Structure 1
């Protein structure tokens, strides 16, 4: 039984109730529980751990990978081989089917692994008050009503209502996505507050970054916020990718066509030509063997695997093969803000003093930047506060193991992001507090929202330096630092300046100072301060992400920001990044989403590009609303709060550097560099892969189509088969081994990111392309019949004629391969000679194998081939050139018709 259902241990929205009400509801006191009461409650509510999910047996998961129409075709082909007694081919086909199943089995289970990753976030132990004294207990033994103590570095062991805090700040990025630790207090908050605004709560799995706290446990195990997220991951469900849907539809159509044509062929052969039944059965089996593209599943798998390698080079690690192609069909990218669109490195962008406004260049924690215009004493005083009233410091990151002579490649922050930003701007202004000694400090506290230090300069002068919330600093200030020294404080000016910076999406802090001779410092000393100015701080956009968003828009892909940050900041960042334009861009907050039904959300979801203060449920709702419009949705995330939405999205994309393990396990794609620009590159790569996959399928089908038409024509018209079944196998094998994978290496088409995403649904091969495949099949099949007939009419032996027919099929496919390199434009260009060297290696391998087939004596015995004279090669080569030119004419007609 969970804490949600345990009688007498339930409290609704504890963050909105005062501490006394929480104590009464949970039948506890600030003195904690007795050991016997804790044991009784544990028996009632269960252990404080997330439940193991029910698992499908391994054998069922493995067999489930055979439940695919194309695999049915493979198994059908294997059965036919077994009936024909071709056991070698039977085992080859079965091996392909089993390999496909093994690959799928190994790569599946991402939802289960995501749940395991979430369970790993829970704390192992906790400090609880039992029997009137503090003691360390196993976190799994905590129960609602326990009183726990929190200290820096602790992982919060359960959801708990805070009753005492001392400068307590908790890193809740895994739940809320906010980069700055949340300041905590004990006062109740509004009942409709989002999770990021519940300052009176500490949530299981988050980490204490500073201060101390005491709290009453309100929920354990599956009743915690992390437990709810686990449930959301399990309930989210995953969707089939566009490719798997298209392959399934294509396989079903292909199966029906093959069965229908085989039935028609049997009827005509039996009743029109009175063929003997055994001979007719053999011909029908040969037709089916020729028509089934048994290499298609392997072709798809290998093409996607090659795409995985290419994407890995672009810092996108693929955990599931179909996701490679699914990225190419994405219509909407829902992105987290912090660390993906932005650098997750707070930066001072603007400073305002009573004298002027200063703009700061440079990004992140790299002190390479400048302040413009140059300042005087007003700026120096403000920068001195930024440097000295600060507990953060920066360390160089060197390219080599030893700093001596090594190149600096970056900077690492030790401390809080906001203080890091102030430290960096002081370095940019050339202000460093060498020779200054700190004598006392008033640490930051969420109650008073400021920090103060007492510092002594090398000359012996002392000053109190203060930084904090502008309203708190203003109310303690008497004067301001003007161009000519102290002057009266202009409160309306500063209130307007704060509003202006906030409207730009900047986090605003204020600085002040006060000369003193005191030896100690307390909050009571912070009166009659001299106000120095304001800092406007922002987590800056990644410059490459701005370009990537523009490229996505050009490619017809909408980008939506879903963040736990405040609406003003989210809109300001989205405007700077080009996500939205104008001052009236619509934004939906979590509170507004709560009031909307799913149908109401679906009506507006496509027109809103910024979502702020969101929860895990909101992200899933947004994804589902987009999918209701047949959008193919990619969702990015790094915190455990993102795992459910990543599982539900068509393509889940996790951050590899700052992402949690739960998020990585829930995703199909992991970004090695946490950069939105990598998503753009991966989408382009996905489009290239889909183009090449489609080219490969359009190339592969006429091989089977031409062979089956040759056999079909022979049966329908009652003449000698131009190919024996074993020669059909040879052509299938030699083209599969040499030519079929060449197109997987094709570079991207021109303007690949200047065209809109392809429509969802439909078949892998459109009706127009099926017609194209049909015409090419007739061309190659007709040429093969023509070569066979001409050879026989010239008096050659039937085995020689069949050898020429096999050569015709092989070289006809080679010619058609060159046509397929550029399906959207002519191949009569010098580009056909460059860009893909694998084409020419494949062509050379095909020619070499055909020479072995034609002239090696053991091949004569296996396949019934015969040596050809130079004249015997002329017909296949000549017809192949004619096929290439004919297909180019067909492409020109199609292109003109489309225009």
Structure 2
């Protein structure tokens, strides 16, 4: 049964056959045997050995293993070792990261309370929380962790922090009232939920659900059932590997048949040519360079306070088209701040954010007050004295003790010019009535040193307005218009503010005891105080950046709809007129929800199931979804999202374990920065691929043409392997360090299913392959024509290939702008370092005698060297001219 919140305590007690004496030990043991212990069930995963072996079940790994076999056949054991090491490292990384998902559910299990105070057989006793059963009478005190889902029977000033379940930062005041059957989790005031924390007060209640049947148990079950989607990069690389593997096999097979049957090549010679073709076509270093590119992205994101837990998820951020974000602490500061003071004579706005007492108080003309009016100072004094919180400053940082809303009142009082110590010294407290959820106010009695007494009250407007008979004006008091002030409070609440009322009553100096009947008459309303968790300034800019990048931002919160809407407007969300609540989501089927998600940007009073459904509804439109969260309630949605982002400061361990990234500063601006970095990583990956495929294509095309024309190979398989090994780990690696290009966040997000080899890249492969073919065959034919030896001709072709790859590197660095600029030519330190390494390596293979013996090379003259450099320049000019024409045609369209 899940509607315990709709029943009275007596009805629940009758249903569960429990009494004020609690359960008997015999009945408790019987129920424990029937229902099992109060713990979350463990989800069985794959055996460790199987999870490790499955890391090798990937077509890209097969391609790498084939590459290793080929290099082994050529006798290059060092290359074979390197390739196998890459395969093993990738498998270990995948194995470790996959194990993190299982830790997420273990984190949930660790969140349950270890012990519980119960009444059994009429005696209070402490038992392991795992032994709790339905019907147990449990006692709760401040600091306790709620051990099971409970229907409260008694609640004295009881408040419970339920952020892990609801996402709402403010503790919930509990009572024993029944609520409607469709009340969201955050409004079930008569319930206490397993895993939440008791912030204040005492209570007792009956256990109505244990283990997997609790709200946290339902989340655990959802987490186990949620399918974790693969990343776009993994999908694309898998498709690319299949395509490349099939192409190499088909071409190799055709050439083997044609060469042996039609061209009458000796089989052994033909087989070695095919091996050379495979070496040329397979990008042996590409997986390693891609992994390094992602690793560099990890370091860059760490510097921007985003900690990456799953390597491929970096690139996923670059494809994000929707960000579903929590409100509290992510878009807002998670620090309550007084923003408005509504008084009979004037309405004041209060600047500043957080608990630091800095910020002006503005009048109705939005001008800072030069001095504090007496009525405002009197209200500020009430806010300061009728208060149990404390503000502390240490090294410029302000921290609080006590309730966040009371701390906000203290900060406001200090902004009004009051001093904490002086005020308490001038008006020491004599007596007090603490806040209670039943009467909804706090009152304190104070006396100054002249014998004057004063009762100060703060509380819920709906309660305090009815207690007041007068309002405090600028110079006198007037009779209260309760309807007017009730409407003012309602208007302030509609703006997303939490509203408190302040009141005062003068009493004789001999009045030393404070009783409830003292408040029945004579109270004077001083002000309505509007308090809210303000948006982060940087979050406003970050949301604007995301929108300009074509990324939709949707706010999903457990907070009140009015508060969510007000914050949504302040941070600049697009669709703020409509707020979809959890109750409305509950009434929709999946098809109806999928139709509405594109038009709604604010969701309030949501449950874990709602968040998960929203993520899946957005994904049904083929959108790449990032989801932020901090509570246990967010874990299923974080796991399902394409990019799950957990909060590092206030996030639960379950949320962090289910996420792909963790924000070290809980700031939405960091998400926008991470998206920019993700786009940069993807751009660099595309650059690596865009550089690798055409250069490998040029090598392969040269071998194919030579074979079909019956000519000697312009470059041997051994020399090709040298080029691939040296340039892929240097020139290709240099692209991994490329900085963010201008306008990166002005481009729309790419489609999730966009192929990694686009039409433009395919055209570039063809064009550059032909240019490489022309350059290598041109220099090879030129050397043959002038009577050079075959070894020198191949050395010239080898160096021409490397020079063309270097000039093509400078071209490929700028995908969206011209390469004819000083910035492009200047390059980066990494680019010039890698170019220097390649030049030294080529000088070594060309001029060192022992290298000449290994690779069958010959020295090259200075004239030939300048001629080779000229070929590289021509290549650069041709591809850059083609790019400019293509970009102009694209802009016209």
Flag whether TM exceeds 0.5 (same fold): yes
Displacement, 1:354? 1.2
After superposition, the C-alpha distances for 1:640-687 in whole angstroms (9 at most, x for unaligned) are 111110000000001110111111111111111110011111111111
Question: Which runs of structure 2 are paired with 1:839-850 in the superposition (5 Å)?
Answer: 839-850=831-842
Residue number among 558, 563, 572 corresponding to 1:578 in the alignment: 572
Match in the other structure for 2:515 = 522
Q: Identify which range, 614-623 or 821-830, moves more after superposition.
A: 821-830
CA shift, 1:116, in A, is 1.3
Please state how far the C-alpha of 1:59 moved relative to its aligned partner.
1.6
Q: Distance in 2 between matches of 1:825 and 1:486?
A: 70
Q: Check conservation: 1:68, 1:248, Cα contact below 8 A.
A: yes
Give the Cα–Cα distance (whole angstroms) in 2 for the partners of residues 800 and 415 of structure 1: 83
**Paired residue for 2:279?**
289
Q: Distance in 1 between the 2:781 and 2:827 partners? A: 38
CA distance in 2, matches of 1:875, 1:26: 94
Q: Comparing 593-602 with 880-889, which one deviates more in the overlay?
A: 880-889
CA distance in 1, matches of 2:362, 2:698: 73
Question: How far has the Cα of 1:267 moved from its partner?
Answer: 2.4
Q: CA deviation at 1:835?
A: 5.2
Cα distance in 2 for residues equivalent to 1:342 and 1:754: 25
- 2: distance between equivalents of 1:240 and 1:493? 57
Partner of 1:426: 413
1:384 is aligned to 381
Q: Are the aligned partners of 1:127 and 1:137 in contact in 2 as well (CA < 8 Å)? A: yes
Q: What SS class does the counterpart of residue 338 from structure 1 fall into?
A: coil
Could you tell me whether the CA contact under 8 Å between 1:394 and 1:413 is conserved in 2?
Answer: yes
2:672 match: secondary structure = helix
Rounded Cα–Cα distance in structure 2 between residues aligned with 1:252 and 1:262: 15
State the distance in 1 between where 2:831 and 2:464 align: 71
Q: Distance in 2 between matches of 1:118 and 1:14?
A: 24
Cα distance between partner residues in 2 of 1:707 and 1:289: 9
CA contact (8 A) 1:703 1:732 kept: no
Residue 774 of structure 1: which of 745, 766, 770 is its match?
A: 766
1:61 aligned residue: 51
Structure 1 ranges of 4+ moved more than 6 A? none
- The equivalent position to 1:269 in structure 2, one of 244, 255, 259, is 259
Matching residue of 1:225: 215
Give 1:110 shift: 2.9
Cα pair 2:695 2:805 within 8 Å, conserved: yes
Report whether the alignment pairs 1:623 with 2:620: no
Contact kept, 8 Å, 1:247 with 1:763, in 2: the verdict is no
What is the match of residue 830 of structure 2? 838
Tell me the residue number matched to 1:607.
Answer: 599
**Residues 688-699 of structure 1 mapped to structure 2, 5 A cutoff:** 688-699=680-691
Secondary structure of residue in 1 paired with 2:534: coil
Structure 2 distance, partners of 1:249, 1:170, is 51
| Separation in structure 1 between the aligned mates of residue 468 and residue 76 of structure 2, nearest angstrom | 94
Q: Displacement of 1:103 after TM fit? A: 1.7
CA contact (8 A) 1:655 1:670 kept: yes
Q: Which moved more, 1:507-516 or 1:494-503?
A: 494-503
Counterpart in the other structure of 2:563? 569
Give the unaligned 5+ runs of structure 1: 1-10, 399-407
Q: Deviations over 1:590-644 (max 9, x none)?
A: 0001100011000111110000000000000000000000110000011111111
Please name the residue that 1:405 is paired with: none
Name the structure 2 match of 1:103: 93
Over aligned residues, Cα RMSD in angstroms?
Answer: 1.3
Partner deviation per Cα, 1:324-375 (whole Å, 9 max, x = no partner) = 1111110000000000000011111000111111110111101011212344
- Unaligned ranges ≥5, structure 2: 364-368
Q: Which of residues 535, 541, 545 is equivalent to 1:551?
A: 545
Kindly tell me the number of residue pairs found equivalent between the two proteins.
877
Q: Distance in 1 between matches of 2:829 and 2:332?
A: 40
Partner SS for 1:422: helix
Q: Which residue, 465, 484, 492 being the options, matches 1:474?
A: 465
User: What's the secondary structure of 2:729's corresponding residue?
Assistant: helix
SS in 1 for 2:745: coil
For the residues of structure 1 that align with 2:9 and 2:826, how far apart are their CA atoms?
74
1:177, 1:639 within 8 Å by CA — same for their partners in 2?
Answer: yes
How is 1:450-461 mapped onto 2 (pairs within 5 angstroms)?
Answer: 450-461=441-452
572, 577, 584: which one pairs with 1:592?
A: 584
Per-residue deviation, 1:728 = 1.2
CA distance in 2, matches of 1:523, 1:310: 61
Q: Secondary structure at the match of 1:145?
A: coil
- Listed as ranges, the matches of 1:343-362 within 5 Å are 343-362=333-352
Moved more, 847-856 or 72-81: 72-81
CA contact (8 A) 1:128 1:135 kept: yes
Other structure's SS at 1:30 match: coil
CA distance in 1 between partners of 2:629 and 2:310 (Å): 17
Aligned-pair CA distance for 1:259: 1.4
Task: Please give the alpha-carbon distance, in whole angstroms, between the structure 2 residues aligned to 1:56 and 1:459.
Answer: 77
Whole-Å separation in 1 of the counterparts to 2:432 and 2:552:
49
Find out whether 1:170 has 2:164 as its counterpart: no
Q: Is the 8 A contact 1:110 1:666 kept in 2?
A: yes
User: For residues 433-491 of structure 1, what are the alpha-carbon distances to aligned partners after superposition, in whole Å with 9 as ceiling and x for unaligned?
Assistant: 23122122111111111111111223332211111111111111111111222221122
Aligned partner of residue 426 in structure 1, secondary structure: helix
CA distance in 1, matches of 2:79, 2:201: 70
Q: 1:81·1:87 contact (CA, 8 Å) conserved in 2?
A: yes
Match of 1:483 among 460, 474, 484: 474
Whole-angstrom distance in 1 between the partners of 2:713 and 2:641: 52
How far off its partner does 1:36 sit?
2.3
